[in-house]
Amino acid sequence: MFFLNWPEELKEKPIDMKQFIAFVKKEFYHVFRDRKTLLLLFGLPIAQILLFGFALTNEIKNSKIVVCDYAKDDASRAIISRLEASRSFDIERSLMGHEQIEKAFKEGKVKLAIVFPEGFGSNLAHTNHAQVQIIADASDPNTGTTLSNYANAVIMEYQQELLQQVTLPMQINVETRMIYNPELKGTTNFVPGVMALVLLLICVLMTSVSIVREKELGTMEILLVSPFNPLLVVISKAVPYFVLSLFNLTVILLLSVFLLKMPVAGSIFLLFFESSLLILTALSLGLLISNSTDSQQTAMLISLMGMLLPTMIFTGFMFPLENMPKPLQVISNIVPSRWYYVIIKAVMIKGLGFKHIWKETLILFGMTVFLLTVSIRKFKTRLA
Amino acid sequence: MSGLRYLLQKEFRQIFRNPTILRMILMVPTIQLLIMPLAADYEIKNINIAVVDHDHSTYSSKLVNTITASGYFRLISYGESYNAAFELLEGDKTDLILEIPQHFERNLVTENQQKLFIGINAINGVKAGVGSGYLSRIINNYNADIRAEWITPSKFNPIPVIEVANINWFNLHLNYQRYMVPGILVVLVTMVGSYLCALNIVKEKEIGTIEQINVTPIKKYHFILGKLIPFWVLGMFVFSLGLLVIARLVYGIVPLGSFALIYGFLALYLVAVLGIGLLMSTYAQTQQQAMSLAFFMMMIFIMMSGLFTPIDSMPGWAKVIAALNPVSYFVDVMRMVVLKGSTFHDIQRHFAIIGGFALFFNTWAVLNYRKTS
């Protein structure tokens, strides 16, 4: 019954198209009058997509490591020059003892230490057995293990070469193909995520204050006693932000394609359609927040403090969702940008058609309908 | 000073008067600190694999068994059609396709050489790299096993071996939560402090009560201090809740370094962050403006702080932005002091820089706040 039981006023007062247009005009004036907000609205997505698109990557490169070469022979030098060739490392040579290594870790200067003991090369040459120590600052487990894996691989490579590679019998070779992203670029993964994040958060943020602002300033009373259908008031609030968001979307797409070199393998039309759907979901969520709060501060705190981190994490572009514990995977389902991220990867990168993403589209659509219904139901036509 | 006392009284009353906001300030960080670190895990596990087996021999099934037994891979499908497997890849049902060619077993024995094909969804390049690395290693071991079945190893094996001892310091069990909790706590405290502070003065502007304050003989810095101190106290409280209650009881994280050092840095850091909030609110005319600005800054602060992605991997110009970001310093300090037990000597540079930020932003805010418009 919750969805059928509309407030009386919504049914009584007629909806007039002319009035609606007048309302939309009023909202546009509100938005365009506030130049500073407008500037931020346009500047924000551009700055963020460029900044994050270029700067963010979960690759590990240029990490400072220290090599303690007590051996100083051909073998250790050969390995060190291999390490130097890798772009993961930024090598510093010095003869540190274990205490100094710990000190350097504590100062945060280096992430990894590789120690070649004295006589490394001669041990290897005479007894065919030598030892190396790789010490990682594992306070950051990701960087720590990745770097020590890289270093291990370099040493193993050297060892393989020592074998002189007499062609081994029964060799299984592996041919690996990196599908969708042959160069393993970080942007392929991050740009769609940042797009989802920026589109969703900006829309929610802007709409979430729209209605509560009129409540706080007292102008809502005037609107409610006038003979307009309150539904008009709510819907017309969303229209300017929808138009602005479409504009932002276009700019974001242009930047991602021309500056960040993102592919658009699928249909542009589908991409716009799906993005508009996300924008609508975000607007509905914003309206719901706006209708359920009684001050701008509360609305903003919900849409900023409450949503920023969860959206960042649960969209799935920084931390793969399938790695998360089961309950959190369930929670992630209520984050709209999570579905949009799947959609946009499918359309932009994989070039898939609608039949592969209808499920995600349906979920976003369902969310929009639900949020919009609840927010209109929550809209109070009598102020306390 | 009595002017300041009354101002403080007013500000505290305003905060405590609004239970919704007060509840949010306490609840939101608590809940997020309980959930977020569990989700922020880089470890690559549960890689889904689809096997396309054109051979159906003892060797091919043995290979599949070896792969699934490794614990890294989950066998999603096992069939004969590459196209069917590729559809799974398109739909994100599998991350990886392994194709075993026809007559794999026979040719391996007769021709001494065979090729396997791996296709990986590489949209997430790091995950793809790790996954293919695991798989190649498993195939190599499998290869060695098969070879051993056919060829009896000679007694004297003159293969040079470099033995690598890998040692992990500070986090033996490679626990990601230990790493993420201190950083996320920093972000939450920053959000609480800067948002509230940014919105506060603007609200007075928008409602018009600032006029009343402006006509009183209250000094500019008294006004600023009156806004700063309550949120400073609040920030200290939220941080303590996170560090002493949630981090300790839920995640079992006890700082290795000294509490005095952490709190000393926090005290200074909060002054800097609140100064940024104040500065924003002296420029904004409406709460909406202040909030858009705060949102913009906050997102950059978080993304460019090294909290989720390493700063070392960023391009040079982005490193400059990260160096101008106060959050990156506190994230760094928390990780150093809590996880590694770094001392004042190790973080004195951080102290100096944050001190500079605090001075700079607050001076700017005081100068920019005008009693007459």
- CB–CB of A323 and B41 under 8 A? yes
Instruction: Tell me the pLDDT of chain A averaged across its residues.
Output: 84
pLDDT top residue among A215 and A336:
A336
Distance CA(B135)–CA(B141), nearest Å, equals 10
Name chain B contacts of A43, Cβ cutoff 8 Å.
Answer: 296
| Confidence at residue A161, expressed as pLDDT on a 0 to 100 scale | 78
- CB–CB of B45 and A349 under 8 A? no
Partner A contacted by B217 (CB < 8 A): no
pLDDT in tens, A91-141: 887 777 778 888 888 888 788 999 988 888 888 888 878 888 899 888 888
- Burial code (b: 16+ CB inside 10 Å, e: under 16) for B209-222 equals ebeeebeeebeeeb
Checking ipTM against 0.85, whether it exceeds it is: no
Quickly state the pLDDT bin for B1 (edges 50, 70, 90): low
Distance CA(A92)–CA(A60), nearest Å, equals 17
| Confidence at residue A190, expressed as pLDDT on a 0 to 100 scale | 86
Q: What is the pTM of this model?
A: 0.84
Task: From residue B71, give the alpha-carbon distance in Å to each of A221, B47, B66, B75, B125.
Answer: 63, 9, 9, 10, 21
Q: What is the mean pLDDT of residues A216-229?
A: 80
Q: Is-contact B319 B311, C-beta < 8 A?
A: yes
Distance CA(A115)–CA(A101), nearest Å, equals 10
Interface test with B, best of A80, A106, A315 (most B CBs within 10 A): A106
Q: How near does any CA of chain A get to the CA of B217, in Å?
A: 28
Is residue B83 packed enough to be buried (19+ CB in 10 Å), middle (13-18) or exposed (0-12)?
A: exposed
pLDDT top residue among A181 and A240:
A240
Quickly state the pLDDT bin for B351 (edges 50, 70, 90): very high
Partner A contacted by B68 (CB < 8 A): no
Q: Is residue A282 predicted with pLDDT exceeding 90?
A: yes
Percent of chain B predicted with pLDDT > 70: 96
Element (H, E) at B2: helix B2-17
| Confidence at residue B329, expressed as pLDDT on a 0 to 100 scale | 94
Q: Which of A60, A124, A171 sits opposite B310 (nearest CB)?
A: A60
| Confidence at residue B154, expressed as pLDDT on a 0 to 100 scale | 55
- CB–CB of A44 and B303 under 8 A? no
| Confidence at residue B155, expressed as pLDDT on a 0 to 100 scale | 47
Provide the token pair at B107: 């040719």
| Confidence at residue B274, expressed as pLDDT on a 0 to 100 scale | 92
Provide the token pair at B177: 């939560």
Quickly state the pLDDT bin for A356 (edges 50, 70, 90): confident
> Could you tell me which of A326, A302, A338, A60 has the C-alpha nearest to residue B38?
A326
Q: Which of A249-258, B216-225, B310-319 has the highest mean pLDDT?
A: A249-258
Q: How near does any CA of chain A get to the CA of B327, in Å?
A: 15
Chain A residue with minimum CA distance to B207: A217
Q: Which residue has the tokens 């930047």?
A: A255
> Which amino acid, B295?
F
Q: Is residue A312 predicted with pLDDT exceeding 70?
A: yes
Interface test with B, best of A51, A87, A174 (most B CBs within 10 A): A174
Q: Is residue A373 predicted with pLDDT exceeding 80?
A: yes
DSSP A206-238: HHHHHHHHHHHHTHHHHHHHSSS-HHHHHHHHH
pLDDT in tens, A36-71: 788 888 888 888 888 888 888 777 878 888 888 888
Provide the token pair at A214: 């009129």
Is residue B358 packed enough to be buried (19+ CB in 10 Å), middle (13-18) or exposed (0-12)?
A: buried
Name chain B contacts of A129, Cβ cutoff 8 Å.
Answer: 160-161, 163
Q: What is the mean pLDDT of residues A76-88?
A: 86
Q: Is residue A3 predicted with pLDDT exceeding 70?
A: no
Partner A contacted by B249 (CB < 8 A): no
| Confidence at residue B167, expressed as pLDDT on a 0 to 100 scale | 79
Q: Is-contact B59 B105, C-beta < 8 A?
A: yes
Query: How many residues make up chain B in this entry?
Result: 373
Q: What is the mean pLDDT of residues B38-59?
A: 85
Chain B residue with minimum CA distance to A352: B90
pLDDT top residue among B205 and B153:
B205
Q: Is residue B341 predicted with pLDDT exceeding 90?
A: no
Q: Is residue A340 predicted with pLDDT exceeding 90?
A: yes
pLDDT in tens, A162-176: 765 555 677 777 788
Name chain B contacts of A318, Cβ cutoff 8 Å.
Answer: 40, 308-309
> Could you tell me which of A336, A91, A37 has the C-alpha nearest to residue B294?
A37
Distance CA(B223)–CA(B21), nearest Å, equals 22
pLDDT in tens, B195-245: 888 888 888 888 888 888 888 888 878 888 888 899 999 999 999 999 999
Tell me the H-state helices in chain A.
8-12, 17-33, 35-55, 74-85, 98-107, 120-127, 141-162, 187-217, 219-225, 230-258, 268-292, 296-301, 308-314, 326-332, 336-344, 358-378
Quickly state the pLDDT bin for B190 (edges 50, 70, 90): very high
Q: Is residue B173 predicted with pLDDT exceeding 80?
A: no
| Confidence at residue B327, expressed as pLDDT on a 0 to 100 scale | 94
| Confidence at residue B148, expressed as pLDDT on a 0 to 100 scale | 78
Q: Which of B41, B115, B161 sits opposite A129 (nearest CB)?
A: B161
pLDDT in tens, B279-293: 888 888 888 888 888
Cα B271 to the center of its chain, rounded Å:
23
Is residue B80 packed enough to be buried (19+ CB in 10 Å), middle (13-18) or exposed (0-12)?
A: middle
Q: How near does any CA of chain A get to the CA of B139, in Å?
A: 8
Backbone angles phi, psi at A66, to 5 degrees: -120, 135
| Confidence at residue A1, expressed as pLDDT on a 0 to 100 scale | 44
Q: Is-contact A181 A188, C-beta < 8 A?
A: yes
| Confidence at residue B290, expressed as pLDDT on a 0 to 100 scale | 86
Sign of CA dihedral A197, A198, A201, A203: negative
Name chain B contacts of A48, Cβ cutoff 8 Å.
Answer: 296, 299-300
> Could you tell me which of A30, A81, A86, A88 has the C-alpha nearest to residue A59?
A88
Q: What is the mean pLDDT of residues B54-58?
A: 89
Interface test with A, best of B31, B42, B127, B173 (most A CBs within 10 A): B42
Q: Compute the CA torsion angle A118, A121, A127, A130 (nearest 10 deg).
A: 60
Q: Is-contact B326 B273, C-beta < 8 A?
A: yes
Instruction: Tell me the pLDDT of chain B averaged across its residues.
Output: 86
- CB–CB of B179 and A102 under 8 A? no
pLDDT top residue among B234 and A159:
B234
Backbone angles phi, psi at A119, to 5 degrees: 75, 20
Sign of CA dihedral A161, A164, A168, A174: positive
Q: Is residue B257 predicted with pLDDT exceeding 70?
A: yes
Quickly state the pLDDT bin for B156 (edges 50, 70, 90): very low
Q: What is the mean pLDDT of residues B95-116?
A: 87
List all residues of chain B from 148 to 187 with a beta carbon under 8 Å from chain A: 150-151, 158-172, 174-176, 178-179, 184, 187
Q: Is residue A236 predicted with pLDDT exceeding 90?
A: no
